[in-house]
Structure 1
């Protein structure tokens, strides 16, 4: 993170980081699970793509959380 004055970026609060992590963990599986449900519905399948979408969404959310915080 850049702590130099004059960069135009306000310092983040710990609550903002927590809400960001929570929103990633919630939105990832919901969006990709919804896409999987839609694919199942359009293709007439029972539940093939829904669990795949949820797992991919969770993996993507964890990736978006781990990469920035491990590198900083």
Structure 2
């Protein structure tokens, strides 16, 4: 392969070469990552919201822990989405 055919990330496949060629662009890859992030946000919010709702039902206090659970779920799932996005480079 000549230097004109190499991509900037293509350093060869030999030992100690620092990795292989770059992955080809796939049109659905970004869309799939978006749906993964959306699902993580939805699942985290829903799960911790249900936990808060359950605590409210068991204690009989009212709707105190439901909003707390939703906020905790949103914060935790948002942290997880950001962590996954910044780690994937």
Q: TM-score, normalised by structure 1?
A: 0.78
Q: Distance between the aligned counterparts of 1:69 and 1:37, measured in 2?
A: 30
- Indicate the structure with greater helix content: 1
Unaligned runs of at least 5 residues, structure 1: 6-10
Which residue in the other structure is 1:66 paired with?
82
CA RMSD between the two structures:
2.1
Q: Once the 2 structures are TM-superposed, how far is the Cα of residue 25 of structure 1 from its aligned partner?
A: 1.3
Query: Would you say 1:18 and 2:34 are equivalent positions?
Result: yes
Normalised by the length of structure 2, the TM-score is: 0.64
Q: Please tell me whether Structure 1 or Structure 2 has the larger radius of gyration of its CA atoms.
A: 2
- By relative contact order (CA 8 Å, sep 6+), the higher-ranking structure is 1
Unaligned runs of 5+ in 2: 1-18
Q: Aligned partners of 1:25, 1:49: CA distance in 2, in Å?
A: 19
The equivalent of 1:51 in structure 2 is 67
Aligned to 2:3: none
